[in-house]
Amino acid sequence: MFSGSKIGRAAAWLALATALVLTVFPFYWMVRTALTPAAALYDGTTSLWPQGATLINFRRVLGLVGPEEARAAGGSGAHINFLRYTLNSVVYSGLIATVQTFCCAMAGYAFARLRFPGRDLAFGIIIAALMVPPIFTLLPNFVLAKQLGLLNTIPGLVLPSLLMTPFAVFFLRQFFLSIPREVEEAAMLEGVGPWGMFWRIVLPMSRGPLITIALTTVVWSWKDYLWPLLVGKGEDTRVLTVGLGVFLQQSPNRAPDWTGLMAGSVLSVVPVLLLLIFLGKRLVESLNFSGLK
């Protein structure tokens, strides 16, 4: 491994440690602020430990305390319910990730293995759509959702990305092309049809890439802001990112309600952090462009 001098080696580790601290410390500060009573923000700004640690900020953003108590703790007293928003976010990203992965796997399989006229043209057109930036289709899609009466509904929220993204189709097709045909040929001799082949043989063989693309989709939809901001304004369809934006605007005039905002922010980090803890190895090892030839 490293072949420099002792000093060089120490310097390299020091640089790596610095990067780690710079990455993690802001999150520590987020949690620290969320546990601090609002009034205490104005004294020990840089004490690393929260002064008079409290859970009140979490309780008020989760809608567990009345407006009076919330105002006393530094909030605006306006109704806010991050429990609901978290649930909406989970539904939003969960639905999109499962349905989209399944549909794109079907298409990827057809593009990789089935033969029919028009196949390559259809694939080419889908790949060309990779070049269109999301904002361009977002404007007409908003008009469409409005015309269909889908604003502030879960279908309106998920539909545009529910069935496909060009990238997922491309990614899964490339993977199906890379698996050896022998298994499928053997199954075909035994009279397994295309559907049985896909469902009983190809899907179980492809668990790794399917999980990879589903996880990536969960992460991206979890982070989505602009589309849910336009289509999911109402309380029932408000996801976490939009909830945070609304909460920010409700802040009392003198200054943003930082302790409440950081409590809400912690809630937007915890679920993906759990994902990382349980699936971290898979997620980390799936980030590999060079395997995507």
Partner 1 sequence: MNAVRPKQRDDRRTGWLFLLPVMLGFAVFYAYPTVRGIWYSLTDFSLLNDPAYVGAENYRHLIDDDQFWNALKVTAYYVVLNIVSQTALALGLAALMHRLTRSVVLRAALLVPWLVPNVTIGLLWAWLLDPDLGFVNHLLRGVGLDTTLSFNSPFWAMPLVALVNSWAYTGYTALLLYAGMLQVPQHLYESASIDGAGELRMFRSITLPLLRPVLALVLVVSLIGSFQIFDTVAVVYGGKAPIPETRVIYYYIYQQAFTYFHMGYAAAVAMVLVVVLGLLTVLQMRMLRASRSDLA
Nearer to partner 1, 208 or 291 (CB): 291
Q: Which of residues 67-96 bind partner 1 (CB under 8 A)?
A: none
Q: How far is CA 61 from CA 48, 81, 205, 247, 264, in A?
A: 23, 6, 44, 9, 6
Q: How far is the CB of 106 from partner 1 (least distance, A)?
A: 5
The region, left, alpha or beta by phi > 0 then psi within -120 to 50, assigned to residue 111 is: alpha
Q: How far is the CB of 108 from partner 1 (least distance, A)?
A: 9
Give yes or no for residue 262 binding partner 1 (CB under 8 A). Answer: yes
Q: How far is the CB of 186 from partner 1 (least distance, A)?
A: 17
How many beta carbons lie within 10 A of that of residue 95, not counting itself? Answer: 17
- Residues in contact with partner 1, shown as a per-residue x/- string from 26 to 45 under the rule CB under 8 A: xx-xx--x-------xx--x
Give yes or no for residue 10 binding partner 1 (CB under 8 A). Answer: no
Contacting range for partner 1; rule: CB under 8 A; set: 62-70, 143-151, 179-187, 203-211:
143-151
Q: How far apart are CA 24 and CA 245, in angstroms?
A: 23
Nearer to partner 1, 183 or 248 (CB): 248
How many beta carbons lie within 10 A of that of residue 21, not counting itself? Answer: 10
Dihedral over alpha carbons 23, 29, 35, 38 (to 10 degrees): -150
Member of 10, 66, 87, 136 binding partner 1 (CB under 8 A): 136
Q: Which of 92, 93, 100 is nearest to 168 (CA)?
A: 100
Q: How far apart are CA 271 and CA 72, in angstroms?
A: 29
Nearer to partner 1, 66 or 223 (CB): 223
- Residues in contact with partner 1, shown as a per-residue x/- string from 148 to 177 under the rule CB under 8 A: -----------xxxxxx-x--x--------
